[in-house]
Structure 1
Amino acid sequence: MSDGLVRILHGNTFVVSDTRGDIEASADDPTGLFSFDTRFLSRWVLTVGGERLTALSTDDLQYFETRFFLVPGTGTVYVNATLTVIRRRAVDDGFREQLTLLNHDGSPVELTVRVDADSDFADLFEVKDAMAKKGTRTTRVEDGRLVMAYERGTFQRTTTVSSTKPARADEQGLEFTVRIEPHGSWDTELHVVPTLLGPGGRRLLPDTPVATGRWQDMEDDLERWLAAAPRLVCDSDSLRATYRRSLVDLAALRFTPMIAGSRSLPAAGLPWFMTMFGRDSILTSLQALPFTPELAATTLRVLGDWQGTRVDDFRDEDPGRILHEMRYGELTAFEERPHSPYYGSADATPLYVVLLDEYERWTGDDELVRGFEPEARAALRWIDTYADLQGNGYVAYQRRNEQTGLENQCWKDSWDSISYHDGRLPGFPRATCELQGYAYDAKVRGARLARQFWGDPGYADELEAQAEDLKRRFNRDFWVEDGQYYALALDADGARVDALSSNIGHLLWSGIVDDDRAAAIADHLLGPRLFSGWGVRTLAEGEARYNPIGYHVGTVWPFDNSFIAWGLRRYGFKTEAARVAAGILDAADYFAGRLPEAFGGYDRDLTKYPVQYPTACSPQAWSTGAPLLFLRTLLGLDPMGEHLLVDPAVPVDIGVVELLDIPGRWGRIDAFGRGLVDVGRWP
């Protein structure tokens, strides 16, 4: 499945083009060269002999590199093309494009080769919302280079285009006059370099020169990344391919924020979310913990360093609150958007404590746990002090920035994601059910950290008592008796928002569900209203707002399903967990191993393949992490002190699974499983 776009990325920079390698961005089009939330190229069109090119094929060499095979014109079945054009493009701090022309004719050929270039310097929010610019754009030719610039006060951005072969540069691009001998070739390398300037023309990033050797450096870095991860040996070719795709995409999404020094953590997803997100980085780090624990360490450090310290209504900031999103574009710089950073997330803060504890359980890194004790305590205080907006002891949210803040501050953050069974939308504050599960889990885990590492058993006792009380009240107040499930939320009056949703699976993961109710929750999750055969829908069929291609109201999210499966295993539902995993992993085959952000929630008996969601991010961090968490769940991996517990429940169709050299406090260890679980068959 493909949307006809080609994406390559590295670190903070990515390029989205058509299958020819051309960029022709409109106001709300996500194509272009982007870096630090600014589009540095909005036009990049190659012509040869005055003709546009036709794509023959595209080779995705690596996540940071691709190659386009092209011919001039459209051609016919009666006329063979006599010229091949190859564009080999690699992304680093900008991008480099090696342009090669091959003459297949017995006569020499003389051609004009031209690259038209332009930049609108659009902020990523402007691209999404089709907004106009407020600053001044200029274009000039300087020493054979094309220099495009944008300035608004102290906010300055430039894009410089140059070539290794002499070119005629004008304000629209670069042009070459080329003669190619019979069966000969011609090539040049085009360099596109973005520059970020601050007050006084100060560079905000080091001026990194373009170097061809960086291609090999990036390939070596990827090989080291893959070699450090556990090795998967299994009977299923598709699972092996999906596993490798996940590891490669996680490498691609490694993001080095300006605030993080040289350390990287997972960016949320391409194209809209290539930046640091609290919730997304935490959940992806949890998924990837048994495979690449260093992502979790960096996530904890960076999010802890930028934890909220004050009450700031513009940014929805509170003391102890973990950020939601960090941006670097023009609208943020001029405080037309609050993302510097923005704190409008109600779940990232308890999840921070969950990740801190889970990280120590896997790695034994008690130094980090002790070092970030103040941050963890502040996060736990936030739950009780600032998140209890209704005064009933539950985590709730209501934005204070009414202009640009998020209405829904849970993971289902679209406007219509939280509704009653009849489709009405509740008022604010809203206390969604999974937030209470996260808060419960954070208190339980915080108690363990306080007792074992912070030397404060009294605080541990206090947290355990709070967790026990929260669980008791939650099972009383959120339970929908006539449906035998937990309400999606409590509204501003404390009444149940009674839609049936996938959120109940997160409750199993957190452990807040009473044991005698877990079977009913599992039945709903695997029942026909929620389970499509490909995965668990975000909202149950039959709810008034159900839409199989609605963003949070009926689509299937791989990340969501990975935590649901983990929760099912926690309560002993091994077969059900395996069935959820099998459905999503089957779907991965139809996306070439790369699970998108979401896909359609249609019943599997209606479609032979999962239906693509039109604007899904791909790759997307927590979808990339989903196969990793499924592997952990299917093999039943769980740290027990200095040992790793392995309790496999693998679907029959997957066969034998061996995960070798799993890193952790035990050093490296192997896990094995055999496909013995019958998860049923679909048409």
Structure 2
Amino acid sequence: MAVDEASAKAKVISSDDTNPQPILGFQDADEALPQYHIEAQTSLVERPLRALKYGEAFAVLDTYGDIGVFPGPEGIYFQDTRYLSRLAFTVEDQRPLILSSVMQDDNGALSVDMTTPDIRIDAQDETSLPRELIAIERTKFLFRATCYDRIGLRNYDTRRRTLRIAVTFDADYRDLFEVRGTARTRFGKRTVQVSSPSEVQFRYVGLDEIVRTTSVHFGPKPVRIEPGRAEFEVSMAPGEHTSLFIRVVCDSHRAFTSAPSAERTGEDSAAALSRASGSGGDQPTRGLPEGRVFARAYRDSRRDQRQLTAGITTIISSNDQFNEALCRATADLYMLASRTQEGIYPFAGIPWYSTVFGRDGIITAMMALWIDPNFGKGVLRFLAATQAKTVDPAADAQPGKVLHETRRGEMAMLGEVPFRHYYGTIDGTPLFVMLAWEYYAVTGDLETIKAIWPSIELALDWIDQYGDRDGDGFVEYARETEQGLANQGWKDSHDSIFHADGTMAKAPIALCEVQGYVFAAKKGAAKLASLLGQEGRAETLKAQARDLREAFDKAFWCEEIGTYAIALDGEKRQCAVRSSNAGHALFTGIALPERAEAVAGQLLSTDGYNGWGIRTLAKGQARYNPMSYHNGSIWPHDNAMIALGFARYGLKAEAARVFEGLFDTALYQDQKRLPELFCGFMRRRQRGPVNYPVACSPQAWAAATPFALLASCLGLEIEHDKNRIRLRNPILPRFLDGITLYNLKLGASRVDLRVHRHGDDVTVAVERRIGDVQISLLK
């Protein structure tokens, strides 16, 4: 992910998960608080949270739909700042009794059913209002940087009831990195005022000269209103229903009126985040009753969601629980999708990464290409538009390098953290080129490829000139400043790359998987160059890919551990560590065919596979810790990429095994949603997987994981230039008897395919076909 965020330092190793032994001689970076650490006094597992998102705004709520009743990351956030830090609803100063709290199937809104508790107006009196007489239904959603909240009440008593209802609220304007635990000593100025009988406005003038405002509107007009509190008196006859509305509008603007420079306002490459993504507050509403404002926004948000998902491929299986998991995964993908000037882009995850990440967006788009190639198009165009043009050590940037992360909070704008426009990723650039070929192969969209071809060429030049620091043919990384990330692969924890004895690898570091990405990028770019009539360029790229594959096997294969080493250090010594990184060599095809079974055997050994998934680091390795961020945990997207690699080398049963473990994991998760990661403890009878305390949920590449796993088992290949959809040696995991793919697309053609399992064999039937697409089954 974005930064080094392991919340537990790797202080123990063990031969099993229950008998830890002390590590001897580990010093330096692992003894200090990790860089850009996510601080945790409470676990996100402790209390279920609900997430809403639209564009650059997102909300983290408790199951009531409240914010900040207990310490935690709850809040309404906009552009990496918490615009509302408290919103609590009480009846006669008591929280209601919660009955149910569910996200709608498409994540469009949170629906909460509650009732009043037993209420005593006076402590000496008997209960003034017995519980369960007043029903409370709450609906919350986000749309265009505004959070809409309707609290409906219905009286089921036989007599009139009058209730005192209070809403308390606050806005702390903490930067997201502050919420994560980074300390600050300087702040801007915050003010709050009652701006009308039904509105309170908070205002924060930041040190970055940006004015951030939070307007809290109420309807009907409260009987009392003051900064931080509004009170209502509700009187209902028997059977009567009434509603209260709360609308929270987030906005930002410059604190000065003269035309500012792009550097001062942050409107340079971040301008690619279009106003359509949700910036700038809601639509004009002045003079309208809050009920009408709510209804209109709800209608428009539903239309917006339908438009976003129109025409995508959908899936129905024989397993109702898998259908629910797919429904949630689809909803998560499109909730995390933000509209930019270049197309839709999947923001990485809530709460810590609700912004553009290059690597995350690319991998998510790759895994979802057959569901909706629009993700691929949007990601390619956005990353081409924000590609580095100059050398900037503070941003770890060089010409041609693809963006790692962009942030718009005060700390990023001031340079207190380096992530305003940060390029410290070693793999994003080759992955960008990989995605370009895969997108074309599925869509045949040569117009987009032509438009971004200069960026592809710049990316290839970066790989050769800046990525390969010493001219040995491998791409390495070393941060340019102390503020930059120490490790710049997808495992970017401070302690994730090390030698067999646990000592940290010294930069520049060449990662196993990155060489695979470069190999696949050059192979794909060669095909694109040929399509564009550049045959000489194509032959050069193909030759470079061939040479890299041969050199990779010689440098990275380690007989001692029976798999590929995780990395080479600055002295070209192997980091002889068994890790999931080796599985990416299968994913990209750089692994020699004769190595595939050995790599898979290590990954699926009892040290590598815990019954739920493949660990990032095999048990028994130095620094193994099943509770760590990258040194023994399990990441669904990592497993999905490995499963695709298994399928590439014909290891379909192995792919199905990974699929089955992760499906079982989803069954134990809230809303059947795969999290960003979970702990790597061994699977035990009658117990679910162990959750990670600060994992993002939802998270984009975790949401895309089921689609990649399904494609790996089906052997699904969509080949535009051959006008062919092919299923290569398809199998189905044991939990599926059959599956139907609806509206599978190839160019103008559409097809519905039904796959059914008969023991260990499968049959494929074409249920519907529009166009001349060919369907083939290869056993």
Structure 2-normalised TM-score? 0.83
- 1:308-362 deviation digits (Å, cap 9, x = unpaired): 0000011111100000001111111212222231101010100000000000000
- Larger mean CA deviation between 301-310 and 52-61 belongs to 52-61
**In the alignment, which residue of structure 1 is the partner of 2:511?**
432
1:416-565 → structure 2 map (5 Å cutoff): 416-453=495-532, 455-565=533-643
**In the alignment, which residue of structure 1 is the partner of 2:282?**
208
Which of residues 301, 304, 311 is equivalent to 1:218? 301
Pairwise CA distance, 1:53: 2.8
Pairwise CA distance, 1:164: 2.3
The answer to whether the Cα contact below 8 Å between 1:316 and 1:400 also exists between their aligned partners in 2 is yes
Q: Distance in 1 between matches of 2:342 and 2:243?
A: 35
- Larger mean CA deviation between 64-73 and 583-592 belongs to 64-73
Pairwise CA distance, 1:263: 2.9
| 1:520/1:80 CA distance change after superposition, 3 Å | same
Three-state SS of the structure 1 residue aligned to 2:225 is strand
- 1:244-274 deviation digits (Å, cap 9, x = unpaired): 2111111111123xxx327321000111111
Higher relative contact order (CA 8 A, sep 6+): 2
**In the alignment, which residue of structure 1 is the partner of 2:13?**
none
Pairwise CA distance, 1:226: 4.7
- 1:9-38 deviation digits (Å, cap 9, x = unpaired): 222222112222221177x83110011111
- Larger mean CA deviation between 488-497 and 588-597 belongs to 588-597
**In the alignment, which residue of structure 2 is the partner of 1:123?**
175
**In the alignment, which residue of structure 2 is the partner of 1:135?**
188
Three-state SS of the structure 2 residue aligned to 1:386 is helix
Letter paired with 2:387: Q
Letter paired with 1:91: L
The answer to whether the Cα contact below 8 Å between 1:447 and 1:460 also exists between their aligned partners in 2 is yes
Q: Distance in 2 between matches of 1:48 and 1:676?
A: 58
The answer to whether the Cα contact below 8 Å between 1:635 and 1:671 also exists between their aligned partners in 2 is no
- 1:80-109 deviation digits (Å, cap 9, x = unpaired): 333233322111122111122222333323
Which of residues 158, 176, 179 is equivalent to 1:106? 158
Q: State yes or no: 1:281 paired with 2:327.
A: no
The answer to whether the Cα contact below 8 Å between 1:232 and 1:659 also exists between their aligned partners in 2 is yes
- 1:468-496 deviation digits (Å, cap 9, x = unpaired): 11111110011112222110000111100
**In the alignment, which residue of structure 1 is the partner of 2:328?**
245
| 1:21/1:658 CA distance change after superposition, 3 Å | closer
Q: Distance in 1 between matches of 2:410 and 2:614?
A: 39
Q: Distance in 1 between matches of 2:116 and 2:470?
A: 65
**In the alignment, which residue of structure 2 is the partner of 1:414?**
493
Pairwise CA distance, 1:664: 2.3
The answer to whether the Cα contact below 8 Å between 2:342 and 2:378 also exists between their aligned partners in 1 is no
- 1:100-155 deviation digits (Å, cap 9, x = unpaired): 22223333233322111110011111111253451111011112210011002421
**In the alignment, which residue of structure 2 is the partner of 1:96?**
148
The answer to whether the Cα contact below 8 Å between 2:152 and 2:242 also exists between their aligned partners in 1 is yes
Q: Distance in 1 between matches of 2:146 and 2:425?
A: 32
Pairwise CA distance, 1:183: 3.3
**In the alignment, which residue of structure 2 is the partner of 1:69?**
113
1:229-244 → structure 2 map (5 Å cutoff): 229-244=312-327
**In the alignment, which residue of structure 2 is the partner of 1:297?**
377
**In the alignment, which residue of structure 1 is the partner of 2:268?**
none
Pairwise CA distance, 1:464: 1.2
Pairwise CA distance, 1:644: 1.3
Q: Distance in 1 between matches of 2:354 and 2:136?
A: 31
- Larger mean CA deviation between 644-653 and 264-273 belongs to 644-653
**In the alignment, which residue of structure 2 is the partner of 1:30?**
73
Pairwise CA distance, 1:75: 6.8
Q: Distance in 1 between matches of 2:488 and 2:237?
A: 63
**In the alignment, which residue of structure 2 is the partner of 1:161?**
216
Q: Distance in 1 between matches of 2:403 and 2:342?
A: 20
- Larger mean CA deviation between 378-387 and 149-158 belongs to 149-158
Three-state SS of the structure 2 residue aligned to 1:23 is coil
The answer to whether the Cα contact below 8 Å between 2:69 and 2:88 also exists between their aligned partners in 1 is no
| 1:586/1:159 CA distance change after superposition, 3 Å | same
**In the alignment, which residue of structure 2 is the partner of 1:192?**
248
Q: Distance in 1 between matches of 2:238 and 2:202?
A: 37
Q: Distance in 2 between matches of 1:316 and 1:583?
A: 38
Letter paired with 1:289: L
Pairwise CA distance, 1:606: 5.2
Pairwise CA distance, 1:605: 3.8
- Larger mean CA deviation between 290-299 and 218-227 belongs to 218-227
The answer to whether the Cα contact below 8 Å between 1:65 and 1:90 also exists between their aligned partners in 2 is yes
Equivalenced residues, count: 673
Pairwise CA distance, 1:184: 2.3
The answer to whether the Cα contact below 8 Å between 1:651 and 1:677 also exists between their aligned partners in 2 is no
Pairwise CA distance, 1:178: 2.6
The answer to whether the Cα contact below 8 Å between 1:75 and 1:81 also exists between their aligned partners in 2 is no
1:634-649 → structure 2 map (5 Å cutoff): 634-640=713-719, 641-647=722-728, 648-649=730-731
Q: Distance in 2 between matches of 1:322 and 1:562?
A: 23
- Larger mean CA deviation between 588-597 and 346-355 belongs to 588-597
Pairwise CA distance, 1:659: 1.3
Q: State yes or no: 1:255 paired with 2:338.
A: yes
Q: Distance in 2 between matches of 1:237 and 1:497?
A: 44
**In the alignment, which residue of structure 2 is the partner of 1:665?**
747
Q: Distance in 2 between matches of 1:544 and 1:75?
A: 57
Q: Percent identity among equivalent residues? A: 36
Q: Distance in 1 between matches of 2:282 and 2:580?
A: 46
**In the alignment, which residue of structure 2 is the partner of 1:41?**
84
Q: State yes or no: 1:146 paired with 2:200.
A: yes
Q: Distance in 2 between matches of 1:570 and 1:665?
A: 24
**In the alignment, which residue of structure 2 is the partner of 1:335?**
415
Pairwise CA distance, 1:207: 4.4
Which of residues 642, 645, 649 is equivalent to 1:571? 649
**In the alignment, which residue of structure 1 is the partner of 2:96?**
53
Q: Distance in 1 between matches of 2:458 and 2:319?
A: 45
Please provide the CA RMSD for this pair. 2.2
Unaligned 5+ segments in structure 2 are 1-44, 121-126, 260-264, 266-274, 286-292, 762-779
Three-state SS of the structure 2 residue aligned to 1:601 is coil
Letter paired with 1:660: Y
Which of residues 599, 603, 609 is equivalent to 2:678? 599
Letter paired with 1:650: L
Three-state SS of the structure 2 residue aligned to 1:651 is coil
Pairwise CA distance, 1:73: 4.2
| 1:383/1:235 CA distance change after superposition, 3 Å | same
- 1:553-588 deviation digits (Å, cap 9, x = unpaired): 111111001110111111111111111112112222
The answer to whether the Cα contact below 8 Å between 1:161 and 1:190 also exists between their aligned partners in 2 is yes
Q: State yes or no: 1:171 paired with 2:227.
A: yes
Q: Distance in 2 between matches of 1:497 and 1:25?
A: 47
The answer to whether the Cα contact below 8 Å between 2:115 and 2:131 also exists between their aligned partners in 1 is no
Three-state SS of the structure 1 residue aligned to 2:421 is coil
- Larger mean CA deviation between 58-67 and 117-126 belongs to 58-67
